Amino acid sequence: MTEEKKENLEQKEELEQQNVAEETQQAETTAAVEETEEVKAEAEPAVEAEEAAPAVEEEKAAPAAESEEFDWDALEADDEGFAGKKKKELVDLYDNTLNTVQEKEVLEGTVISMNKREVVVDIGYKSDGIVSLNEFRYNPELKVGDPVEVYVESLEDKKGQMILSHKKARAVRSWDRVNDALDKDEIIKGYIKCRTKGGMIVDVFGIEAFLPGSQIDVKPIRDYDMYVGKNMEFKVVKINQEFRNVVVSHKALIEAELEQQKKEIISKLEKGQVLEGTVKNVTSYGVFIDLGGVDGLIHITDLSWGRISHPNEIVELDQKLNVVILDFDDDKKRIALGLKQLTPHPWDNVDAELKVGDSVKGKVVVMADYGAFVEIAPGVEGLIHVSEMSWSQHLRSAQDFLKVGDEVEAQILTLDREERKMSLGIKQLKNDPWQEIDTKFGIGTQHNATVRNFTNFGVFVEIEEGVDGLIHISDLSWTKKIKHPSEFTSIGADIEVVVLDIDKDNRRLSLGHKQLEENPWDVFETIFSVDSIHEGTIVELFDKGATIALPYGVEGFATPRHLVKEDGSKASLEEKLDFKVIEFSKGAKRIILSHSRVFEDEKKGEDTAKKKAQTKQTAKAMKAVKENNQEKTTLGDISELAALKSQMEAEENKEK
């Protein structure tokens, strides 16, 4: 016979025993009632006899008063008799054996039996209730006899069984319990239901509380899933009354104990002490070591004498290793540890014969804008400054010459064993181009250069590595007026140059570009002579005048007064007009133009010719007058002279 059948039989036997007890009580009550009726029946003849006796006495005693009629109803209603008292005692006894139980209320009961699926709870009612065992997952230690709270869901189901719920009972009273646990700092039990973002969901008194990942343990958790389905002890650390959120912590239970352990361990620490520890966590900046209840940190710079990019190149999780205590803080409980300090410093093993001027080989381990660090032996590094990478005076970044991982050969420039510092140079292994600058880059020689940088006054170019020069902005073009070198060329472009001057002491070259061609102003002097007229295009207008593009790529300048056209309007941008040269300067490379002078001078020439003709006519008239004065003047002569005089006066007024 299976255990389940045995349990069912046991439950049936208990129910039968209860039914038997109830039947027995009913039988006793029935017997008591029957006994009361028998007593009543025995009393009836006596009553009849008593009734007969007064009647005889009435007959005998005529003057006697009328006898009162007997009240049978009062006798039957009399509860003072034996049968009435017995019945009342039995009813009270039966009622007191049962508690008054109502549905939808929370009561405390006692576990009387358990099986794999259900728990039977006695709440003092006529029948026991059944609760699913799943509702006690948080309490695996539940046993027969333990008090539990239950919620009465139904006094009797279809099978006549009372249905109880422990989960609902916990939910009704759980919020008060959680608040009490927080106020009293109590330790409570909970069941970890599942994992969620950032932590776990814990069943506490039927409430789903949040357990942050950082509050599970004092050490980092690698596998959260291993905690799902476990029962653990917690402390309530935070409650949001508005949203009814609860936060619990398991870490808080063990922190107090660990804090005491830390104090004991730190009180025994000494600088320089060597301890064994276990790698607890590895970060980008260092390694946390568990020293047996207290943690210490090995900074990445204290892991190895050589440079490393990440601590996992040296250690791994759960690895046991010896460390040395470098420093500790009693107040903040911080312990600084070292690993490399357990081995001799590499500088102590550097070749004693190594000196300034020697060549060494190494590997670039770190790059910076100002230089590169080269490791010539584990833990022994030297700095190659960017100025020692090339003979060039042009400013560049160290990344233009080297990168991490490059194998390089360099010369020792300085060596300080006490300070454990070394400076190196690469350019010293190459010939200095300035030693032969006069022969290779003499004045007047032409070369192809690369534009490296711009300034407002010129262009810096590199003829070859280590040989830089400057092209002044005035030496870029014979004809164009350049405001900034970027208008003429671009960085990285090739440009032909000619050496104009050499400053060997300051390692400078003066270069030119326009000198590659003959000076066109020698020719322009004959073409753009003063008073010559040329067609030009206005390419730029500004407050002080305009720039005019002339033939052969040369430009001229005209003031606003010389831009007025014959009809009185001003010349506009991109307009083509005739311009007269009013000034030419070969040395200053300047041509001053005027459009107004073109038509003004033409008109002036016409007026001069007309005036000359009038002067001749006047002279002829005066000669005639003189001849007439020698002869007798007639009326006609006087009229001719008057007309001539009026004409001359009119012309004079017109000129004025």
What element of type H or E holds 538?
strand 533-542
Rg value, the chain, Cα = 62
Q: Is the pLDDT of residue 56 over 50?
A: no
What element of type H or E holds 651?
helix 635-655
Residue whose pair of structure tokens reads 């005693």 in the numeric block: 61
Judged by average pLDDT, the poorest of 80-94, 535-549, 632-646 is 632-646
Residues 148 and 139: their CA atoms lie apart, in Å, by: 11
One domain for residues 338 and 352: no
Residue whose pair of structure tokens reads 């600058």 in the numeric block: 437
One domain for residues 63 and 124: no
Last residue of a domain, one of 373, 408, 429: 429
Residues 153 and 161: their CA atoms lie apart, in Å, by: 11
pLDDT of residue 37: 44
Residues 220/206, Cβ–Cβ less than 8 Å: no
Q: Cα 52 from chain centroid?
A: 116
pLDDT of residue 97: 56
Q: Give a yes or no: residue 304 inside a domain.
A: yes
pLDDT of residue 614: 59
253: Cβ contacts below 8 Å, ≥ 6 apart: 187, 233, 234, 235
pLDDT of residue 653: 66
- Which band of pLDDT confidence, cut at 50, 70 and 90, is reported for residue 299? very high
Residues 385/423, Cβ–Cβ less than 8 Å: yes
Q: What is the DSSP letter of 605?
A: H
Per-residue tokens: 102:
């109502």
Residues 360/425, Cβ–Cβ less than 8 Å: no
Query: φ, ψ for residue 165 (rounded to 5)?
Result: -140, 120
Residue with the bigger pLDDT between 637 and 38: it is 637
Largest CA distance in the chain: 227
Give the Cα-Cα-Cα angle 113, 116, 121 (nearest 5 degrees): 30
Residues 14 and 23: their CA atoms lie apart, in Å, by: 14
Residues 257 and 250: their CA atoms lie apart, in Å, by: 13
Per-position DSSP letters for 337-380, written without gaps between them = EESGGGS--GGGGS-TT--TT-EEEEEEEEEETTEEEEEEETTE
439: Cβ contacts below 8 Å, ≥ 6 apart: none
One domain for residues 197 and 293: no
Q: Give a yes or no: residue 548 inside a domain.
A: yes
Q: Cα 635 from chain centroid?
A: 118
Average pLDDT of the residues in 575-580? 88
Residue with the bigger pLDDT between 68 and 57: it is 68
Per-residue tokens: 177:
């319990």
76: Cβ contacts below 8 Å, ≥ 6 apart: 40
Q: What is the mean pLDDT of the chain?
A: 76
- Which band of pLDDT confidence, cut at 50, 70 and 90, is reported for residue 51? very low
Residue whose pair of structure tokens reads 């601590």 in the numeric block: 311
Per-residue CA distances from 326 to 145, 270, 274, 294 (Å)? 59, 9, 10, 15
One domain for residues 228 and 297: no
260: Cβ contacts below 8 Å, ≥ 6 apart: none
Residues 271 and 335: their CA atoms lie apart, in Å, by: 10
One domain for residues 445 and 412: no
Per-residue tokens: 4:
């389940």
Residues 79 and 85: their CA atoms lie apart, in Å, by: 7
Average pLDDT of the residues in 505-521? 78
One domain for residues 500 and 563: no
CATH number at residue 324: 2.40.50.140
Q: Cα 170 from chain centroid?
A: 43
pLDDT of residue 98: 54
pLDDT of residue 33: 40
Per-residue CA distances from 545 to 81, 221, 274, 571 (Å)? 143, 80, 86, 11
Residues 313 and 646: their CA atoms lie apart, in Å, by: 119
One domain for residues 369 and 248: no
Average pLDDT of the residues in 367-385? 86
Domain region containing 200: 106-252
Q: Give a yes or no: residue 257 inside a domain.
A: no
Residues 381/350, Cβ–Cβ less than 8 Å: no
3-class DSSP state for residue 553?
A: helix
Residues 232/187, Cβ–Cβ less than 8 Å: no
Last residue of a domain, one of 594, 617, 634: 594
Judged by average pLDDT, the poorest of 111-120, 228-237, 473-482 is 473-482
Average pLDDT of the residues in 646-654? 65
One domain for residues 74 and 140: no
pLDDT of residue 20: 45
Average pLDDT of the residues in 558-563? 88
Residue with the bigger pLDDT between 219 and 234: it is 234
One domain for residues 114 and 243: yes
Q: Give a yes or no: residue 263 inside a domain.
A: no
Helix/strand/coil percent split, the chain, to 5: 35, 30, 30
What region does 200 belong to: left with phi over 0, alpha with psi -120 to 50, or beta? beta
Residues 304 and 514: their CA atoms lie apart, in Å, by: 60
3-class DSSP state for residue 246?
A: strand
Q: Is the pLDDT of residue 655 over 80?
A: no
One domain for residues 438 and 313: no
Per-residue tokens: 273:
């002490």
The dihedral sign for the CA sequence 558, 561, 566, 569: positive
Average pLDDT of the residues in 475-490? 81
Residues 359/349, Cβ–Cβ less than 8 Å: no
What element of type H or E holds 325?
strand 320-329
Number of domains in the chain: 7
Residues 422 and 412: their CA atoms lie apart, in Å, by: 7
Burial 591-623 (b: 16+ CB within 10 A, else e): bbbbbbbbeeeeeeeeeeeeeeeeeeeeeebee
Last residue of a domain, one of 568, 594, 620: 594
CA nearest to 531, candidates 609, 608, 592: 592
3-class DSSP state for residue 149?
A: strand
Question: What does DSSP say about strands 129-132 and 162-165: parallel, antiparallel, or unpaired?
Answer: parallel
One domain for residues 587 and 645: no
One domain for residues 571 and 647: no
pLDDT of residue 210: 92
Average pLDDT of the residues in 103-122? 86
Residues 273 and 338: their CA atoms lie apart, in Å, by: 11
Residues 229/190, Cβ–Cβ less than 8 Å: no
Residue with the bigger pLDDT between 205 and 321: it is 321
pLDDT of residue 635: 46
pLDDT digits (tens, 9 = 90+) for 159-203: 777 888 887 887 777 788 888 888 888 888 889 989 888 889 998
Per-position DSSP letters for 9-38, written without gaps between them = HHHHHHHHHHHHHHHHHHHHHHHHHHHHHH
CA nearest to 144, candidates 154, 153, 133, 156: 133
Q: Give a yes or no: residue 337 inside a domain.
A: yes
Most confident of 124-128, 319-323, 441-445: 319-323
3-class DSSP state for residue 400?
A: helix
Q: Is the pLDDT of residue 589 over 80?
A: no
Strands, DSSP E only, in 418-466?
421-425, 446-455, 458-464
Q: Give a yes or no: residue 261 inside a domain.
A: no
pLDDT of residue 90: 67
Per-residue CA distances from 636 to 227, 616, 630 (Å)? 146, 23, 15
Residue with the bigger pLDDT between 478 and 554: it is 554
Q: Give a yes or no: residue 411 inside a domain.
A: yes
CA nearest to 590, candidates 513, 530, 518: 530
